[in-house]
């Protein structure tokens, strides 16, 4: 990650100006917005997520600790406060660092470097997961007490049944039933070839024969309705083909 996008949230205007000056002379940071109102910051973040938030703790209406639990996924925090007693609590919410006011630039840049290292590690981990997913062409499931390997290209669709799922597979007269959740199956299957089209069904997209005007999918021996929660993603997939 070459540039870290960030915001500043502090109810003290002078503290905001100091942090803005620090960000301005730190090349790896890009300031997106500053706030003196934590509630306003939260509303803005829902539409404009950033990588990092420099955030005071003691603020009216919504304090920094409370706000840290409401941030978009992927937004990390560096707390800035005059009260060192919050240090332990800040690490409990997985803050990158804790800066005690008055903040010196050398402490600020050290915290930014910690953030850089965290984002770099996260990127490497995500790349490794993507690489493993690209190489994987099969998965193992437990059926009747034994592990069976399924090739992804043989799966027609997957049917959810409470705590169990049924894999409908080409060349198999009966589906393979295993103890899994639909979420676990969804995470295990390649996202570019499989799609969940309603709460109880995941289909292999290239096995679909027809989609009728009622958004019913004809696949294998089954007719499956695309429900409203999944319709937008499915229609987008169809329009791109």
What's the pLDDT at 92? 59
Q: Locate 132 and state its tokens.
A: 């493993």
pTM for the model: 0.54
User: What is the distance between the alpha carbons of residues 139 and 184, in angstroms, rounded to a whole number?
Assistant: 12
Which residue in 68, 73, 69 sits closest to 81, CA to CA?
A: 68
Secondary structure E strands in the chain: 4-9, 29-35, 52-55, 76-81, 97-100, 138-143, 146-151, 155-161, 164-169, 176-178, 194-198, 201-204, 208-211, 216-219, 222-225
What gap in Å lies between CA 99 and CA 122, rounded to an integer? 23
Percent of the chain at pLDDT exceeding 70: 91
Q: Across residues 115-133, what is the average pLDDT?
A: 75
Neighbours of 6 (CB within 10 A): 25
Q: pLDDT tens, 5-41?
A: 999 999 999 999 999 999 999 999 999 999 999 999 9
pLDDT-derived band at 130, boundaries 50, 70, 90: low
pLDDT of residue 91: 56
pLDDT at 124 (0 to 100): 74
CA 233 – CA 228 distance, rounded (Å): 10
Scanning 80-148, the segments in alpha helix (DSSP H) are 87-92, 105-135
Average pLDDT value for residue range 194-222 = 93
Kindly state the average pLDDT of the residues 80-93. 66
**What's the DSSP call for residue 175?**
-
CA 168 to each of CA 165, 183, 227: distance values in angstroms, whole numbers, following the listed order: 10, 17, 20
Residue 235's contacts (CB-CB under 8 Å, 6 or more residues apart) are: none
User: Among 225, 212, 6, which Cα is nearest to 119's?
Assistant: 6
């Amino acid at each position: 990650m070459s540039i870290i996008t960030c915001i500043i949230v502090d109810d003290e205007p002078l503290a905001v100006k100091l942090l803005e000056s620090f960000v301005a002379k730190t090349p790896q940071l890009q300031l997106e917005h500053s706030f003196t109102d934590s509630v306003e910051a939260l509303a803005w973040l829902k539409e404009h997520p950033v990588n990092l938030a420099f955030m005071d703790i003691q603020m009216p209406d919504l304090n920094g600790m409370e706000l840290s639990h409401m941030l978009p996924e992927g937004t990390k925090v560096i707390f800035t406060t005059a009260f060192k007693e919050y240090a332990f609590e800040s690490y409990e919410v997985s803050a990158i660092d804790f800066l005690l006011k008055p903040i010196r630039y050398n402490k600020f840049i050290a915290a930014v470097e910690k953030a850089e290292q965290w984002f770099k590690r996260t990127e490497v981990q995500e790349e490794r997961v993507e690489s493993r997913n690209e190489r994987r062409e099969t998965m193992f499931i437990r059926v009747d007490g034994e592990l069976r390997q399924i090739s992804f290209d043989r799966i027609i669709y997957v049917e959810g049944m409470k705590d169990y799922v049924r894999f409908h597979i080409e060349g198999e007269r009966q589906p393979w039933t295993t103890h899994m959740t639909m979420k676990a199956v969804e995470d295990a299957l390649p996202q570019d070839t499989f799609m969940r089209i309603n709460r109880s069904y995941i289909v292999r997209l290239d096995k679909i024969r027809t989609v009728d005007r009622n958004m019913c999918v004809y696949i294998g021996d089954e007719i499956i309705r695309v429900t409203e929660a999944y319709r937008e993603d499915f229609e987008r997939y169809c329009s791109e083909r």
